[in-house]
Amino acid sequence: MAGPRAADCTEEDERRSEFRNIFEAHAPYVWRSLLGLGVPQADVPDASQLVFMVLYKKLHQLEPGCSIRTFVYGMCLRVASDFRRRGHRRHERLYADPPVVGRGANQEDRTSQRQTLLRMDAALARLNPEQREVFVLYEIEELPMIEVARAIGRPLQTAYSRLHAARKAVIAAMAPHLQEE
């Protein structure tokens, strides 16, 4: 006969199983999002761990019908904000080493890719945090705008306004290097 203790174990097993699925599905983009949101690269492992630890604790508060992805992004925004403040106080450069790029390219392509990414990261670093969040979520992570608005906790029009300002700033920052096809 299953008692309360056995039931607790089953519930915990289910929770861990669910969490494992979420981790495997979302770990890469949590890492990537934190990078895009300005977390110093040296801090991304710790920040990623923190995101998942908080997610594990708050999983039961997830609202029915809520997109897991949007929920996770919301946590990334909060953790990134904290780590950015700490990185600023330490006066660290954003990146000690350029982030991992795609595999399979030759040396010249990889060098070019690194430089392009560094320019993009420098352009993102010039944005204010609110604009950067919207830009990263919409342009890089390709969330629908309604999910972006949900993730940042602001009305849709506010998200659009921030995206508009971010786009102008990024284009201006990368203008000397932009070339259209």
Residues 87-106, interacting with other proteins (CB under 8 A): 96-97, 99-102
Q: Which of residues 154-173 bind other proteins (CB under 8 A)?
A: 154-157, 160, 163-164, 167-168, 170-171
Interaction of residue 58 with other proteins, rule CB under 8 A: yes
- For position 108 contacting other proteins by CB under 8 A, the verdict is no
Q: Give the CA angle between residues 50, 74, 54 to the nearest 5°.
A: 30
Closest C-alpha to 29, from 155, 112, 136: 136
Measured from the CB atom, the residue of 6 and 155 that comes closer to other proteins is 155
Question: Is 181 an interacting residue with respect to other proteins (CB under 8 A)?
Answer: yes
C-beta of residue 124 within 8 angstroms of C-beta of residue 36: yes
| Shortest distance in whole angstroms from residue 3 CB to other proteins | 19
Computed from CA positions of residues 99, 39, 32, 21, in that sequence, does the dihedral angle turn out positive or negative? Answer: positive
Interaction between residue 50 and other proteins (CB under 8 A): yes
- How far, in Å, CA of 180 to CA of 178, rounded? 7
